[in-house]
A and B are shown apart, each in its own frame.
Chain A
Amino acid sequence: GESVGLHLPTLSVQEGDNSIINCAYSNSASDYFIWYKQESGKGPQFIIDIRSNMDKRQGQRVTVLLNKTVKHLSLQIAATQPGDSAVYFCAEKETSGSRLTFGEGTQLTVNP
């Protein structure tokens, strides 16, 4: 039978290319957003965060863009490397809340 939940969105890129991973969120009260990277058999690892008073934030090789108008978040990875292959999750949190709510996840595969 069909396995529910196994069909993650996937993105396949060549080594050295730039990657863009997208995420839509639904909670208008969310004011803090984080991208996590999860390798097989490991827990999620923090990549970069952004608060709702910003629309862009840059880290090392990564940039997060936030469009509150359409409730859209993206993660850009420059010069993607094989070590970037993983599942990437966006997560959101409300100011008054204590929990992170995770999105569906995107499987990134980097081909050498």
Chain B
Amino acid sequence: GAGVSQTPSNKVTEKGKYVELRCDPISGHTALYWYRQSLGQGPEFLIYFQGTGAADDSGLPNDRFFAVRPEGSVSTLKIQRTERGDSAVYLCASSILAPWSSTGELFFGEGSRLTVL
């Protein structure tokens, strides 16, 4: 597809379970970002990848959160021992250059809605 693809679109899990959220960025985009958005709030930065490496992971809230991008394309956000407070929409975004191209556009996916019961 032409846009950023995120799966699953919805995930319901129980407290304490492990979840993985997948992001497939726009082909050729080297920069990939994960954001988290709670209801009624703006997106909150989690982590930024340049290629395969995490260039900035300072937004990850704690060590239960981890993300990988092993081949510099698809990324997976992993959450261990989920808590009810992790419930949010997890957004992925990509851009053609890092940190910004001259157009400055960051393309977002539609997000994965995580609900922890």
In angstroms, Cα B43 to Cα A46, docked, is 14
Residues of B within 8 A of A97 (CB): 99
Given A32-B100, A98-B55, residue A46 in contact with residue B41 (CB < 8 A): no
Does B20 reach chain A (CB closer than 8 Å)?
no
Of B39, B55, B109, the residue contacting A43 (CB under 8 A) is B109
**Binary A-proximity of B85-115 (CB < 8 A = 1, otherwise 0):** 0000001010000111000111111110000
Does A104 reach chain B (CB closer than 8 Å)?
yes
Contact A43 B48 (CB under 8 A): no
Residues of B within 8 A of A93 (CB): 99-100
Contact B42 A45 (CB under 8 A): no
Of B98, B110, B111, the residue contacting A98 (CB under 8 A) is B98
Given A43-B4, A43-B91, A97-B99, residue A6 in contact with residue B40 (CB < 8 A): yes
Of A8, A42, A99, the residue contacting B110 (CB under 8 A) is A42
Interface set, chain B 3-60, CB cutoff 8 A to A: 4, 31, 33, 38-45, 48, 50, 55-56, 59
Residues of A within 8 A of B50 (CB): 98
A interface residues, how many (CB within 8 angstroms): 26
Of B41, B99, B104, the residue contacting A49 (CB under 8 A) is B104
**Binary B-proximity of A59-102 (CB < 8 A = 1, otherwise 0):** 00000000000000000000000000000010101000111111
Interface residues of B (CB under 8 A from A): 4, 31, 33, 38-45, 48, 50, 55-56, 59, 91, 93, 98-100, 104-111
* Leading 10 A-B pairs by shortest Cβ distance: A43-B108, A102-B42, A5-B40, A98-B99, A99-B45, A6-B40, A49-B104, A46-B105, A98-B48, A44-B108
In the assembled complex, 12 residue pairs joining A and B whose CB atoms fall closer than 8 Å, in A order, are: A3-B40, A5-B38, A6-B40, A32-B100, A43-B108, A89-B42, A98-B50, A100-B45, A102-B43, A102-B44, A104-B41, A104-B42
